[in-house]
Amino acid sequence: MRRKADQAPDAPAAPAAAAPAAAGPTAAGPTAAGPTAAGPTAAGPTAAGAAAVARPTLRDVAMLAGVSAKTASRVINAEPGVSPSKVDAVRRAIAQLNYRPNFTASSLRRSNGRTATIAAVLEDLANPFSSALHRALEDVARGREVIIVAGSVDEDPDRERALVRAFTMRQADGLVIVPASDNQAYLTREVHGATPVVFVDRPPVGLQADAVLVDNQAGAAEAVHHLVASGHRAIGYLGDLRTIATARQRFQGYKEALSDNGIRPVPAHIAHDLHTSAATADATRRLLATDPPPTALFAAQNLVTIGAIRALRDLGLHERVALVGFDDFPLADLLQPAVTVVAQDPFTMGHLAAELIFRRLDGESWEPTTHLVPTRLIARGSGEIPPHG
């Protein structure tokens, strides 16, 4: 049964400033407990700490449309019995004010005006990195009796915006976003409207907001330096979609480390835009079929690493070609050989993002800040295989 937007009596009130309207389904998750943090490293101009601007209300819509609040509510809830002219007037007012119906008001809204929900817009909830982020957010939220609702963007900018619209329509108290779009200026109204927004894994573009990131370029460079230290000079690169900021940063780290060691990149040893393990397996076979082939591989994302492992095992080369992956994954230490990785810390990243959201909800204010969480190279065996001539 569809839940109706909040209804109000007919008393008018002065219109307030706007926030984006939207619709669309969301996914939900339960809760859990415990905080963590990491220190800030950089700051930008103010935005998230800007003065709050009230969201438009049902009464604002009614006043602008020249109808009663009851009539406006009936239009919003698609109830019959309203004249076409009044329907048009209400719809124009909704568009002008960017009004968002409050679908959670009847069941979740607290006396402090909050819904006890934080929305997480993540890359892919099935990916171990995203699922660890989600769980870390829940750990912190549980102690606040707040739930985390989440959805996957699947590297689709339109899906990102649809999820953000859907979550803000449902009056989420804060947003944690791993962005897929190349510009997040569309969130400016939310930030200035006092909705805390924290970006994780990828920095915001076109918007000043808190961010929790890792140094992808340095982590990738460390992986390549590690392979060079094992004697490798022909090091292949397997990368994610180049539209993703972190993929570009990791490729830059790869090239930087090669240059530091006097090695020129070989175009035939480089494969981009691999977003599934199957695509990576195919690309790995192509790289290893070149003459001469790379003696080592750097895989710049966990699913990419899994695809490379599958191809190496199919070819019987898993104990002859060295491999370092960026980002750990379950059972990586139980394979033969165990997989050397540059590990991120999604639990610390998620805990910190949640703490930043709750600190802002508690009334703290500061200039938008970027927090860096360090990576860690874990040598397990696959990255220490020497070159075989």
257-270 tens-digit pLDDT: 999 999 999 999 99
- Is the domain of 317 the same as that of 221? yes
Outline where DSSP puts E strands in the chain: 27-28, 40-43, 117-122, 147-152, 174-177, 197-200, 210-213, 235-238, 270-271, 296-299, 322-326, 340-343, 369-372, 376-378
Q: What is the mean pLDDT of residues 144-163?
A: 94
Write down the pLDDT at residue 33: 36
Q: Say if residue 205's pLDDT is above 70.
A: yes
Q: Classify residue 332: in a domain, yes or no.
A: yes
Position 311 scores a pLDDT of 98
Indicate if 226 and 317 belong to the same structural domain.
yes
In this structure, are 44 and 182 located in the same domain?
A: yes
pLDDT tens across 325-334, in order? 999 999 999 9
Residue 319 domain flag: yes
Predicted pLDDT at 317: 97
Q: What confidence tier does 48 reach under pLDDT thresholds 50, 70, 90?
A: very low
pLDDT at residue 5 is higher than 90: no
**Residue 131 and residue 250 share a domain:** no
* Residue 125 within any structural domain of the chain: yes
pLDDT at 225: 98
**pLDDT at res. 7:** 41
pLDDT higher than threshold 70 for residue 161: yes
Q: In this structure, are 231 and 183 located in the same domain? A: no
Amino acid 285: pLDDT: 98
Residue 77 has pLDDT above 90, yes or no: no
How far is the C-alpha of 347 from the C-alpha of 330, rounded, in Å? 14
| Distances 82 to 57, 67, 75 between C-alpha atoms, Å | 20, 11, 7
Rounded mean pLDDT, 210-231: 97
Looking at the domain assignment, is residue 104 inside a domain?
Answer: no
Between 63 and 19, the more confident residue is 63
Instruction: State which residues form the domain around 367.
Output: 27-55+113-213+348-372
Of 41, 73, 99, the one marking the end of a domain is: 99
Stronger pLDDT, 271 or 55, i.e. the higher one: 271
**pLDDT score for 113:** 66
DSSP conformation class of 251: H
Residue 1 lies in a domain: no
Closest by alpha carbon to 131, among 27, 205, 207, 239?
Answer: 27
Judge if 221 and 359 occupy the same domain.
no
Sign of the alpha-carbon dihedral angle for 288, 290, 291, 293: negative
DSSP 333: T
Distance from C-alpha of 252 to C-alpha of 39, rounded to nearest angstrom: 25
Q: In this structure, what token pair is assigned to residue 170?
A: 């449902």
Q: Answer for the pair 45, 368: CB distance below 8 angstroms, yes or no.
A: yes
CA separation for the pair 37, 376 (Å, rounded):
17
117 and 204 co-located in one domain: yes
pLDDT of amino acid 319: 96
Output the pTM of the full model.
0.69
- Residue 32 and residue 150: Cα distance in Å, rounded? 14
> Is residue 3 in some structural domain?
no
Spell out a b/e string for 71-83, using b for 16 or more CB atoms within 10 Å of the CB, else e.
Answer: bbbbbbeeeeebe
Mean of pLDDT over the chain: 85
* pLDDT, average across residues 22-51: 38
Tally of domains within the chain:
3
Which comes out higher in pLDDT, residue 23 or 286?
286
d(CA 146, CA 343): 29
> Which pLDDT value is given to residue 191?
74
Tokens (6 digits) for 91 = 């719809």
Region for 168 from its dihedrals, namely left if φ exceeds 0, alpha if ψ lies in -120 to 50, beta otherwise: alpha
Confidence of residue 98 (pLDDT cuts 50, 70, 90): confident
Distance CA 376, CA 374 (A): 7
326 in Cβ contact with 300 (< 8 Å) = yes
Q: What is the pLDDT of residue 160?
A: 95
pLDDT-derived band at 43, boundaries 50, 70, 90: very low
User: For 276-326, what is each residue's pLDDT tens digit?
Assistant: 899 999 999 999 999 999 999 999 999 999 999 999 999 999 999 999 999
Specify if 106 maps to a domain.
no
State the residue for tokens 């019995």: 81
The reply to whether 46 and 189 lie within a common domain is: yes
Under 8 Å between Cβ of 217 and 342? no
* pLDDT over 90, % of the chain: 71
**From the CB of residue 52, how many other CB atoms can be counted at a distance below 10 Å?**
10
Please compute the mean of the pLDDT values over residues 160-177 and round it to a whole number: 92
- Report the distance separating Cα 216 and Cα 210, nearest Å: 18
Q: Which residue in 228, 217, 224 sits closest to 253, CA to CA?
A: 217
Is residue 107 in a domain? Answer: no
* Shared domain check, 273 and 245: yes
> What pLDDT does 27 receive?
39
Q: Do 187 and 248 belong to one domain?
A: no
Same structural domain for residues 142 and 36? yes
Confidence of residue 103 (pLDDT cuts 50, 70, 90): low
CATH of the domain at 235: 3.40.50.2300
Residues 47 and 180 in one domain: yes
The CATH number of residue 87's host domain is 1.10.260.40
Give the integer Cα–Cα distance in Å for 147 and 140: 10
Q: Is the pLDDT of residue 184 over 50?
A: yes
